[in-house]
Structure 1
Amino acid sequence: MACISSSQCLEIFMVAPAFNPSSLEARVKSQLEEKENRKFSVFKAVSYRSQVVAGSIYYIKVDVGDGEFIHMTVLERLPHENKPLSLQDYQTRKTQDDALEDC
């Protein structure tokens, strides 16, 4: 909230572009493959939730094929920082039925 005086306040809302989980393949897949030292032929986000901080944190469940899922924590920094999505943490050996939790 920005205030000119104690009686004149203006609420300012910034709307970030909607997160597109399908953009993960190009933006985060290679980071995970490098950390896991393997290639994923399937890499599809099936669910996610987000938390707004100094940027946004996304908790994402990814189908990597053969009934295996990976839970990832991905950081999207504020636009003025001009930084790519960053894989912060991940958990392997998850199933489709495992609840998406913080990594």
Structure 2
Amino acid sequence: MTHVTCGGFTDPRPATEEIQEICDEVKGQVEERTKKKYEIFRALQYRSQVVEGTNYLIKIHAGGFSYLHVMVFEALPCYGGEKSVTGVQQGHTSQDDLKPFGM
């Protein structure tokens, strides 16, 4: 059973097709922030937090031994539903825990 603290992030979960679609949509924003191009950009794991919209914390395999932790905010549909990258951490490994940052 997934444990959720009221207002907090969910426990880590395996990435879904929907999470991969979010990653695909914000890949350009991540590349702009990191000044790198990624041939591989595969979501592995994620956590979410419901606010006035949804915050996602996603572990992404970016090729080789490169892993990113990316924070994405998805606005509510009534506010356009846009997705924006709010933070990127580079230099992670496949074993690093997903911990919220930059909030």
Q: Same fold (TM over 0.5)?
A: yes
- TM-score, with structure 1 as normaliser: 0.78
Aligned length: 86
State the match for 1:47 in structure 2: 45
Greater fraction of residues in strand: 1
Of the three residues 49, 60, 63, the one matched with 1:62 is: 60
2:44 counterpart SS class: strand
Cα gap change, 1:22 to 1:85, in 2 (>3 Å): same
- TM-score, with structure 2 as normaliser: 0.78
Identity percentage over the alignment? 34
Can you give the 5+ residue segments of structure 2 that lack an aligned partner in the other structure? 1-15
| 46-55 or 23-32, larger mean C-alpha shift | 23-32
Larger radius of gyration: 1
User: How big is each residue's C-alpha offset from its partner over 1:72-94, in whole Å with a ceiling of 9 and x where there is no partner?
Assistant: 11000110111421000111000
State the match for 2:5 in structure 1: none
Shift of 1:26: 3.1
Instruction: After the TM superposition, list the runs of 4 or more consecutive aligned residues in structure 1 that deviate by more than 2 angstroms.
Output: none
Can you give the 5+ residue segments of structure 1 that lack an aligned partner in the other structure? 1-17
